[in-house]
Chain A
């Protein structure tokens, strides 16, 4: 017998579908693999490039490449350096790049529902679209969390290979933990943004991804400021509240989009 007529069952069954899909297909593991390798490459390569001087042949201006001084710089901004995202090597190549990968993960995951036609199976037995939105938010949030964990492991491996110090002076292990927690909770905002764009774009994967990246760009530049390495409980609470509010608000908007538009 079918068990989707009751509200809790509808959400439960939708979660079962999304968890099964997320963890039995290769996409998440590929993304996690990329997230694992990325910090290793970043740390090793920037260490090799550290101190190299490049001269602009036209202007003759010399530029000295500055690499990371500390492994944890790939996770968050050092105390006193936190601000809006800068265009330096260390400012660009760090864990914050993962938010773009989160947008790609959500965009592809949702678009695949529509491209394969599976969305018909989902919505033909569900008149209320919120179960879909809730489930997608939860599962993509967990998938994103695993990508962050992969990155953290990769950073530790990369740090060991490159020989950079694991110095926690000025923020401590707790500060590092709070920073990671804050960043993790903030993914809910990016999941919400991407879900809304993907709900509107339906089967157009390219539109889901590019639209999601563009929509999240503004927030992306603010992430380093909200989540420095010396983050405290205040940062965690701020990111938790932001994550909840944004994912709820954007989820409600996604629900409206799904209700008002054609699903095939």
Chain B
């Protein structure tokens, strides 16, 4: 196992200190402290701390069963908590004012299958007490590219369409806080592309705070400004996208016709050299690609391809889960 690096130590910061560093006097959209929840003998949340600054697009990441959905359901008041505090915009999460500011999509959209998309949307508009329901519904359906399917029965919609309807429902009445649980899951490539465009559109409004949990980290990376990684009911780390960017290691990726020789040579010179699945050699902690080219050339090994790369959120997350970084 690799030694802990100062470069990555920001990751293991206690979540409680996070807002003090980041927020100043600004009220956080979500502030969770010591949240616990048990289902029978199984403790799903073990004193979870979480801070989502107002205006952030917060990517909530974790393995299956790590407690993401439980946290989101508790945030939405859909189940009673065992302990801890949840504050939304500085107020207790049960406060009707903050509840009315929340838009949610938990697991699947809550729609009546026999009713049309429009009917379901109008029902939600009535639920939210929106006066100009038809106008609002038309607006959000357009935003999620569903205006042409308004007359379809909900049960006849595809999974991707249903998820977009769910997002449209959550967006009704312009909520300040949007909680989306796995909105991309189960979608095909086209559905994912449309959903990505929708997510980009709805997160353009910088006054809206969005909490998105997802397994598809590549997609999340494109929109998130903050990240929280949960494991086994505890917050492993919280960071901003800038911190992730700074913390993610750079490496030199190269390929040669004599890969195995090149790897053996480079291993003697650099501390960490690996070959990835695509047959590229990764040289970590190398300052300069030119240095590597010169070194290999001197030893009679030609380099066919070389570039400087940075590990993405997905790799970073996998590394973290494998406890390579903490």
Interface residues of A (CB under 8 A from B): 1-7, 9-10, 12-14, 16-17, 20-21, 24-25, 112, 116-128, 259-264
A12 to B130, CA, bound (A): 11
In the bound complex, residues from chain A placing their C-beta under 8 Å from that of B95 are: 127
Which secondary structure dominates chain A's binding surface? helix
In the bound complex, residues from chain A placing their C-beta under 8 Å from that of B169 are: 121
Measured between C-beta atoms, what is the minimum distance from B117 to chain A in Å?
Answer: 14
Q: Indicate if the CB atoms of A117 and B109 lie closer than 8 Å.
A: yes
A121 to B106, CA, bound (A): 9
Q: Which single member of B76, B106, B110 contacts A116 (CB below 8 Å)?
A: B110
A14 to B131, CA, bound (A): 14
A119 to B173, CA, bound (A): 18
CB-defined A-B contacts under 8 Å, sample of 23:
A1-B131, A1-B174, A2-B100, A2-B130, A2-B174, A3-B129, A3-B131, A10-B96, A13-B127, A16-B129, A17-B123, A25-B114, A117-B107, A117-B109, A120-B110, A123-B76, A123-B77, A124-B77, A124-B99, A125-B127, A127-B94, A127-B96, A261-B80
In the bound complex, residues from chain B placing their C-beta under 8 Å from that of A125 are: 99-100, 102, 127-128
In the bound complex, residues from chain B placing their C-beta under 8 Å from that of A121 are: 104, 110, 124, 127, 169
Chain B 272-294, CB-CB to A under 8 Å as 1, else 0, gives 00000000000000000000000
Q: Indicate if the CB atoms of B97 and A5 lie closer than 8 Å.
A: yes
Q: Indicate if the CB atoms of B79 and A16 lie closer than 8 Å.
A: no
Q: Indicate if the CB atoms of B129 and A116 lie closer than 8 Å.
A: no
Which secondary structure dominates chain B's binding surface? loop
Q: Indicate if the CB atoms of B113 and A262 lie closer than 8 Å.
A: no
Known: A4-B96, A127-B77. A264 touches B106 (CB 8 A): yes
Measured between C-beta atoms, what is the minimum distance from B237 to chain A in Å?
Answer: 28
Q: Is B112 an interface residue (CB 8 A)?
A: yes
Q: Indicate if the CB atoms of B76 and A20 lie closer than 8 Å.
A: no
Q: Indicate if the CB atoms of B99 and A126 lie closer than 8 Å.
A: yes
Q: Indicate if the CB atoms of B78 and A14 lie closer than 8 Å.
A: no
Q: Is B175 an interface residue (CB 8 A)?
A: yes
A21 to B174, CA, bound (A): 24
Known: A116-B113, A262-B80, A263-B78. A126 touches B126 (CB 8 A): no
Measured between C-beta atoms, what is the minimum distance from B132 to chain A in Å?
Answer: 9
Measured between C-beta atoms, what is the minimum distance from B53 to chain A in Å?
Answer: 22
Q: Indicate if the CB atoms of B79 and A264 lie closer than 8 Å.
A: yes
Q: Which of A4, A124, A264 has most B Cβ within 10 Å?
A: A124
Known: A3-B129, A5-B97, A24-B119. A120 touches B114 (CB 8 A): no
Measured between C-beta atoms, what is the minimum distance from A52 to chain B in Å?
Answer: 44
In the bound complex, residues from chain B placing their C-beta under 8 Å from that of A122 are: 127
Q: Indicate if the CB atoms of A120 and B78 lie closer than 8 Å.
A: yes
A-B CB proximity, top 3 nearest = A3-B129, A117-B110, A2-B173
Q: Indicate if the CB atoms of A2 and B128 lie closer than 8 Å.
A: yes
